[in-house]
Amino acid sequence: MQETYSARVELAQEREYVDGLYARLDELRDEKHSQLAQIRRSSSSGSHQNRSERDAFATMYEDRLAQLNAVDDRLVFGRLDLDDGEKRYIGRIGLSTESLQRLMVDWRAPEAGTFYQATAFERQGVWRRRHLILKGRNVRAIEDDILDAARLDDESSLQGEGALLAALDARRTGRMSDIVGTIQSEQDRIIRAPLPGVLVVQGGPGTGKTAVALHRAAYLLYTYRDRLKSAGVLLVGPSDAFMQYIERVLPSLGETGVVMSSVGHLYPGISAVNEPNDATAEIKGRASMAGVVAAAVANRQRIPAEPKRLNVEGTILTLTPKQVRRARDKARATGKPHNEARTTFVKILLRDLTEALTEQLEESSGAGNNADRSYLAEDVRSSRDVRVALNLAWMPLTPQKLIDELLSKAALLAAAAPTLSPEEVQLLLRPPGSSWTEPDIPLLDEAAELLGELDPTGGRDKAAEEQERKRNVTNAVQAIENMGQSMADSGVDGMLSAEALAEHNAVAESRFSSAERASQDRAWAFGHVVVDEAQELSPMQWRMLMRRCPMKSFTIVGDIAQTSSAAGARSWQQALEPFVGERWRQEELTVNYRTPMQIAEAAVRMANAAGLVVSAPKAVRDGKWDTFVDEVSEGEVVSRLLQTLPEDLAAIEGGLVAVVGQEHFQGPVLAALRDAYGARAGTGAGGYEQDIIVTTPANAKGLEFDAVVVLEPAELLSGGGGLVGDLYVAMTRPTQRLRLIGAKGIPAGIRT
């Protein structure tokens, strides 16, 4: 009874302290709400500097409020009891009193590292690590790890893994939860690795790769705030379902400014779909496609085969191939992108044609005629024949137009890609205006880099803006002159410039955060890039991502054994060597936290039997069930699914079930499940109201479910061009239960 009483006292004390932390959190929220409201109430008058300061403060208050709102759930999760008597609470953010007395340490701070790193063999000054298990704002339980054996007594217990196992056994919700309270030592070491360079995190299924990647992004933004705040961090994932699955994690860790994108959305304004043909995706992903795009751009800078006769206001001029070649060579020599270099090309030829027109008119009007002929340049510029000839020789282009025409016109593709076989050319060709696919995104990005910005007004908009600015300055000069005497009488004569007054009166631009600006700017240079499921990226996708971070500061997370893309990597060396040489380092995660031992071993046996050598991370727990294997007759796969699904749903008691199969299963299976279960069946990552998910291995990559049913596993094994990745991925998604249903045989190794 004494032990029970002591535990209750400890729990009551922790609840009181945690209530105080939440009270302080609420105080800070109210304070920021008040400050933001005051800023918003302030008028727009005052100097430009005053307006800038108000905007900066508003941004600061908004960002802080977003952070304070995002960390409400399970604000604090740990306490360290140190040998010197200090009690140090660890939470999602740092909190202090108004007098700057520290109440809680941010989990990313150096002094919080011992919460994850201290062990009984290397205590680092910690004698007790306490886990606070919260639901919302309520402390439900506490668990202690006693690291100093001398302090063990009848009231102490060495528990260690209770909080971790509780998190692993919790039902899945369709949204990833952070692991900030249960980060393990090897994960923490990787999360806190230094920023510079390229870090590869290799880990088998269930090792927490994605969690490590997200927590590392939050840690880097905290630790290297000055370096990363303006440039930002980009986090790239494999699919829209994956991005939806992880979207809440970073805000819960105290970070709201990371740009998150799937590979199909990395080009602003375009939402790409999956490429239906693996062979087509493989060709588009080759590194050599960069040369194809470059050749396609160069081929749009054309030399006419013969001289062109141009009518300029009734006068016939001749544009020769030699003139066009000379102008093209000079434009290319500028080193500018296609659309920007075109300005040089056009200027040269317009000057040549204007000189030719002037000479003709002077010859026809007789010697000594000194008439003003300055209008001739505009006549040449506005001539339809001249515009057509110049556009045919050097057409301004958008990336979309270039790539769409390249992939829809056989002659253009053959000219740009002479090394492709006729069969490969046919695989790339498609109807004009087809939807953009994920492998097209790097091609568009490459084209955008080579083409540069396109100003469809020919510079007229920029000229109009400059004219408007000059007009505003002129008006400001007049206003200052009119006010001259009164300004002198006030002692401010000469303190206000016309330029400052014009800027003050200009309409203010909309204010965007760095993350918002970065997400809309293809050429934005990020300070760090985190890539999850990186083994799937093609050489062209790597080329695009390397362009996003010129400093080559990357965290790359994946598992080579799970590669299922035809254009994906077979080794990290193969993927990275063309871009960073040997300047990368690798860490490995060795413990499988997600997958029960029976399922993990079945997946490894299958992979080994198929000839794939995979790392086999140690599973930390046994499952309740062995893998279920149902062999059925042809045409009975879906009916067996409907027959066994109630059992699987009942076994996981309200968790998520994923039905994983090849693309051709998606429509019929989803229809059958909706007939039986209504809105409970759907696609994506799932949720509380949608607990039955129909998906493919590609879309399931990076996700986890309580139970998984794999349809026709032999198809997944044979349909990936010899890759084991699809079946390996599907089999390692469940946290509790796995069933395989097949009419075409069960791959070797799955059964014991």
What is the per-residue pLDDT across 221-270, written as a single tens digit (0 to 9) for each? 889 988 887 888 999 998 887 777 777 777 777 777 788 898 899 999 89
> To which residue do tokens 């076994």 refer?
651
Judged against a pLDDT cut of 70, whether residue 11 lies above it is answered with yes
User: pLDDT of 123-132, one tens digit each?
Assistant: 889 998 888 8
Q: What is the three-class DSSP state of 336?
A: coil
The DSSP element (H or E) to which 363 belongs, if any, is helix 338-365
CB 333, CB 345: distance < 8 Å: no
| Average of per-residue pLDDT across 492-519 | 54
- Rounded Cα distance, 718 and 724, in Å: 8
721 belongs to a structural domain: yes
Least confident piece of the model among 52-61, 372-381, 571-580: 52-61
677-683 LR contacts (CB < 8 Å, sep 24+): 683/241
Q: How confident is the model at residue 63 (pLDDT cuts 50, 70, 90)?
A: confident
557, 689: one domain: no
751 belongs to a structural domain: no
Higher pLDDT, 326 or 505: 326
426, 338: one domain: yes
Q: What is the three-class DSSP state of 317?
A: strand
The 3-class secondary structure across 127-193, one letter per residue, is EEEEEEEEECCEEEEEEEEECCHHHCCCCCCCCCCHHHHHHHHCCCCCCCCCCCCCCCHHHHHHHCC
pTM above 0.85, yes or no: no
| Average of per-residue pLDDT across 273-295 | 94
749 belongs to a structural domain: no
Judged against a pLDDT cut of 70, whether residue 479 lies above it is answered with no
Total domains in the chain come to 5
370, 293: one domain: yes
Q: Which of 407, 402, 431 is nearest to 417 (CA)?
A: 407
Structure-block tokens of residue 645: 């699904």
| Average of per-residue pLDDT across 266-282 | 90
| Average of per-residue pLDDT across 485-495 | 48
- Rounded Cα distance, 600 and 620, in Å: 11
Most confident of 245-259, 330-344, 699-713: 330-344
Judged against a pLDDT cut of 50, whether residue 155 lies above it is answered with no
DSSP structure class, residue 734: E
| Average of per-residue pLDDT across 450-461 | 68
CATH code for the domain in which residue 601 is found: 3.40.50.300
Helix axes 539-548, 289-298, angle to 10 degrees: 70
Please, what is the Cα angle at 172 between 168 and 173, to 5 degrees? 145
Distance of CA 300 to the CA centre of its chain: 33
User: So what's the pLDDT on residue 555?
Assistant: 96
Q: How confident is the model at residue 462 (pLDDT cuts 50, 70, 90)?
A: low
Q: What is the three-class DSSP state of 395?
A: coil
- Rounded Cα distance, 4 and 14, in Å: 15
300, 426: one domain: yes
Judged against a pLDDT cut of 90, whether residue 495 lies above it is answered with no
400, 282: one domain: yes
Higher pLDDT, 428 or 475: 428
Q: Which of 651, 415, 702, 683 is nearest to 530 (CA)?
A: 702
510 belongs to a structural domain: no
Judged against a pLDDT cut of 50, whether residue 599 lies above it is answered with yes
- Rounded Cα distance, 515 and 217, in Å: 14
| Average of per-residue pLDDT across 281-303 | 96
732, 657: one domain: yes
User: So what's the pLDDT on residue 370?
Assistant: 60
658, 732: one domain: yes
User: So what's the pLDDT on residue 742?
Assistant: 92
Pairing of strands 308-312, 315-319: antiparallel
CB 610, CB 724: distance < 8 Å: yes
**Size (the chain), residues:** 752
- Rounded Cα distance, 692 and 645, in Å: 10
Ordered DSSP codes for 639-687: HHHHHHHHHHHHHHTS--EEEE--HHHHHHHHHHHHHHHGGGEESTT-B
Neighbour count for residue 1 (Cβ, 10 Å): 5
Which domain covers residue 87, as residue numbers?
2-160
Number of helical (H) and strand (E) elements in the chain, helices listed first: 31, 22
309, 446: one domain: yes
519 belongs to a structural domain: no
Q: Backbone phi, then psi, for 18, in 5-degree steps? A: -65, -35
Least confident piece of the model among 139-143, 394-398, 624-628: 139-143
Neighbour count for residue 40 (Cβ, 10 Å): 10
Judged against a pLDDT cut of 60, whether residue 160 lies above it is answered with no
DSSP structure class, residue 263: G
421, 484: one domain: no
Q: Backbone phi, then psi, for 413, in 5-degree steps? A: -70, -45
- Rounded Cα distance, 92 and 208, in Å: 19
Q: Backbone phi, then psi, for 255, in 5-degree steps? A: -125, 130
- Rounded Cα distance, 37 and 57, in Å: 11
User: So what's the pLDDT on residue 663?
Assistant: 87
Neighbour count for residue 204 (Cβ, 10 Å): 27
Q: Which of 632, 693, 624 is nearest to 658 (CA)?
A: 693
Please, what is the Cα angle at 208 between 552 and 591, to 5 degrees? 115
Q: How confident is the model at residue 703 (pLDDT cuts 50, 70, 90)?
A: confident
User: So what's the pLDDT on residue 707?
Assistant: 93
24 belongs to a structural domain: yes
Least confident piece of the model among 153-157, 370-374, 549-553, 571-575: 153-157
Q: How confident is the model at residue 683 (pLDDT cuts 50, 70, 90)?
A: confident
- Rounded Cα distance, 338 and 448, in Å: 10
Mean pLDDT of the chain: 84
User: So what's the pLDDT on residue 610?
Assistant: 84
Q: Which amino acid is present at 278?
A: D
678 belongs to a structural domain: yes
| Average of per-residue pLDDT across 122-145 | 87
DSSP structure class, residue 437: B
The tally of CA atoms less than 13 A away on the side-chain side of residue 474 is: 6
- Rounded Cα distance, 105 and 111, in Å: 8
User: So what's the pLDDT on residue 320?
Assistant: 94
Judged against a pLDDT cut of 70, whether residue 597 lies above it is answered with yes
Q: How confident is the model at residue 396 (pLDDT cuts 50, 70, 90)?
A: very high
- Rounded Cα distance, 87 and 133, in Å: 17
Query: How many Å is the Cα radius of gyration of the chain?
Result: 33
386, 322: one domain: yes
| Average of per-residue pLDDT across 601-608 | 89
310, 386: one domain: yes
CB 511, CB 502: distance < 8 Å: no
Higher pLDDT, 283 or 8: 283
- Distance, first Cα to last Cα, the chain: 48
CB 298, CB 328: distance < 8 Å: no
Judged against a pLDDT cut of 70, whether residue 748 lies above it is answered with yes
User: So what's the pLDDT on residue 207?
Assistant: 86
| Average of per-residue pLDDT across 276-290 | 94
Most confident of 115-124, 420-429, 462-471, 598-607: 420-429
The tally of CA atoms less than 13 A away on the side-chain side of residue 369 is: 13
702, 732: one domain: yes
DSSP structure class, residue 688: T
Judged against a pLDDT cut of 90, whether residue 629 lies above it is answered with yes
User: pLDDT of 68-105, one tens digit each?
Assistant: 888 888 899 889 999 999 999 999 899 999 999 999 99
Q: Which of 237, 214, 241 is nearest to 658 (CA)?
A: 241
Q: Which amino acid is present at 595?
A: T
Pairing of strands 138-146, 126-135: antiparallel
- Rounded Cα distance, 660 and 666, in Å: 9
Domain final residue, candidates 111, 127, 160:
160
User: pLDDT of 306-335, one tens digit each?
Assistant: 999 999 888 899 999 999 999 999 999 999
Q: How confident is the model at residue 695 (pLDDT cuts 50, 70, 90)?
A: very high
748 belongs to a structural domain: no
